[in-house]
Structure 1
């Protein structure tokens, strides 16, 4: 979880966050790469890579607390939201992301074609097929409610969204937080 602190200096941006790592997934001194996600933005979130850091976690705890100060306000450096264009093949970032319990997914295709839109887990297994049919050219929108093919809720985590049509493929990363 990440939040922007209300106090900042020099028009900067001060962020703090907390993350939990299961003890069987990480050992003390392991480099951890992480990204910040800001979800309360009208443009669908913000993501920026931060260099790898090494954290020494105590044996009794696997909760990481960090603070980050950026001397530039990230909200002034964001590009405009990508407009939905009906004449191109495009999988747009889901919104909100991270999400709970549902998220909206927009995609566009340039011509009528057979479309597959599927959600995968990080093991490469299909979690949910959202679209598997012929679709007309244009912009399409679908909501995923966080349920798998059998109707059971999926666990919190990172999921991959894959759009395939006319031998073209695009993928996006989604995060479900419960």
Structure 2
């Protein structure tokens, strides 16, 4: 009897996950090209961000310049990234062709979308002559170190290099010739900031930014939604996004393949909005897990895979 009950629970969760994935996941695809000559980009990745600045999906750029993302119903910003290699000849660029997030064009994902092409800005930093060094600093948002801010080094209107902040806000831009630069820090849902610096062999660190978070103008969602966690598969951290259209109590629970509760991530009153919750599965073993959202009579379940 117990075995049959467990089997029923597992089948229930799997079917719920399949139904939800089919109902909410859409493809978003296109090519990545250089803005100056329309030639295709042959390496790198494209990341989709929600309008709070969290990465919700990522895809590699193929040798033919193609990418494809899978997303649930939402509004997103896209950024095309080069691989972090000295020979890369472009800088992170948002859809359709801008570096400043304030100039990005938001994409409403309400069905499959094709031909969403990104036109990236060139970097002039490849094989530049002169004595080279590394520039570094920390990026804060409202006095808190922030991850995934992009700091660009410019000379005039040319982009020479860039760095991306880590979990502690630290960033570095390598292989920069000594000289004068404009440093510009960008992060979605934050006001941008810039400073002028004179980079020497001896003075190359301490170039810090303190960005100010801003209202991103997101309208309250009109429906409940539970997104596919990102990344998936994962080890050990992943982010679960969900939206609620009105005030009420929300629970978000994690179950193993046997239907046993292993973690309750959320049990609290929510205002209408979009939420991102990080789940750490460091204490769990590899396998299939399910996460379930319950809110005001709405229930949705998705499957995720932990690989250690």
Q: TM-score, with normalisation over the residues of structure 1?
A: 0.53
Listed one character per residue, the Cα deviations across residues 99-131 of structure 1 (whole Å, up to 9, x for unaligned) are: 111001110001011101000001111010000
- Written as runs of structure 1 = structure 2, the 5 A alignment for 1:128-147 is 128-147=263-282
| Superposed CA RMSD | 2.5
On the 8 A contact 1:91/1:107 being kept in 2, the answer is: yes
Listed one character per residue, the Cα deviations across residues 127-173 of structure 1 (whole Å, up to 9, x for unaligned) are: 100001111111011100115xxxxx000111001000011101111
Q: Which has the higher contact order (CA 8 A, sep 6+)?
A: 1
Listed one character per residue, the Cα deviations across residues 61-116 of structure 1 (whole Å, up to 9, x for unaligned) are: xxxxxxxxxxxx9x667666642572210001100000111001110001011101
Match of 2:292 in 1: 162
Match of 1:120 among 241, 246, 255: 255
Listed one character per residue, the Cα deviations across residues 2-57 of structure 1 (whole Å, up to 9, x for unaligned) are: xxxxxxxxxxxxxxxxxxxxxxxxxxxxxxxxxxxxxx8735379xxxxxxxxxxx
Provide the rounded CA distance (Å) in 1 between the counterparts of 2:223 and 2:47: 23
In the alignment, structure 2 segments of 5+ residues that lack a partner are 1-44, 49-56, 76-219
Provide the rounded CA distance (Å) in 2 between the counterparts of 1:103 and 1:123: 21
Cα distance change on mapping 1:113 and 1:81 into 2, 3 Å? closer
Cα distance change on mapping 1:139 and 1:77 into 2, 3 Å? closer
Cα distance change on mapping 1:41 and 1:109 into 2, 3 Å? same
Provide the rounded CA distance (Å) in 1 between the counterparts of 2:222 and 2:257: 31
Match of 2:47 in 1: 42
What is the DSSP-based 3-state SS (H/G/I as helix, E as strand, rest coil) of the residue aligned with 1:42?
Answer: strand
Are residues 1:172 and 2:302 paired? yes
Rg (Cα) greater in structure: 2
Provide the rounded CA distance (Å) in 2 between the counterparts of 1:79 and 1:97: 12
Cα distance change on mapping 1:41 and 1:163 into 2, 3 Å? farther
Q: How many residues matched?
A: 107
Provide the rounded CA distance (Å) in 2 between the counterparts of 1:112 and 1:155: 35
Q: More helix by proportion, 1 or 2?
A: 2
In the alignment, structure 1 segments of 5+ residues that lack a partner are 1-39, 47-72, 148-152
Provide the rounded CA distance (Å) in 2 between the counterparts of 1:169 and 1:42: 28
Provide the rounded CA distance (Å) in 2 between the counterparts of 1:94 and 1:80: 10
